[in-house]
Amino acid sequence: MVDSVSSAASAATNSSSASTSGNSKTMISSDFETFLRMLTTQLENQDPLNPMESSDYALQIATFSGVEQQVQTNELLKALSANLGGGGLSQYGSWVGMEGQAAVPANYDGVTPVTVFPEIDKDASTATLVVRDDTGAIVQSEPIPPDTKTILWSGGEDHEAGLYDFIVESYAEDGSKLSEAQARIYAQIAEVRTDEGEISIVFDSGTIVKASEVSALRDPV
């Protein structure tokens, strides 16, 4: 009888472990009361000539206590994660409608000049600004001084409204290419998203970047 009661107590403990997927404190309390009843039954029905070791009772209590603590910890972490995620969206939500500076395509309207912030290699002797349209075709290529900080690209009569990428190619003194990097521009932020706790920014061009890749913000010009 002792073995059957002990098995029942073990089953109650395993049942409590399986309940960790739930989030109800009522379930934890109910399982704990059941566990105590099973433990009391063990004490009442054990063989007085061969009593159960006290260490076995301690092990059962410790096992259930560990399961209970794990359930509570999981609930706390879940609540904390939800709060952090919501807080992140709330914080970055104010970015929607503003212009963020990032290495993304410019949504050129055919009229307003685009301010380009080139990423030039520090060891470059010369550099070239390459402009590509949304098909990837080069529509303009011109040399720029290696110390250039900003470029005002007006598009000109030959460039219609649309998406344009600004690529900066950096060259060493011997003419070898050191690097190629997309220049930063200001683009309007259309949406803020969260995916598995990470905040992403969606620009009006449809390009999506991490919030950490936005280096500056400003009101729409």
The pLDDT tens digits for 105-121 are 999 988 889 999 999 99
| pLDDT > 80? residue 129 | yes
Confidence of residue 210 (pLDDT cuts 50, 70, 90): very high
The pLDDT value recorded for residue 31 is 66
Average pLDDT over residues 15-42: 61
Of 55, 67, 74, 58, which Cα lies nearest the Cα of 13? 67
For the segment 155-185, what is each residue's pLDDT rounded down to a tens digit? 766 778 899 999 999 999 999 999 999 999 9
| pLDDT > 70? residue 132 | yes
Q: What is the pTM (predicted TM-score) of this model? A: 0.59
| pLDDT > 50? residue 2 | no
- Taken in order 154, 156, 160, 166, is the CA torsion positive or negative? negative
Note whether 199 and 189 are within 8 A (CB).
no
Instruction: Please name the residue that has the structure tokens 């460039």.
Output: 159
206 Ramachandran zone, left/alpha/beta (phi>0; psi -120 to 50): left
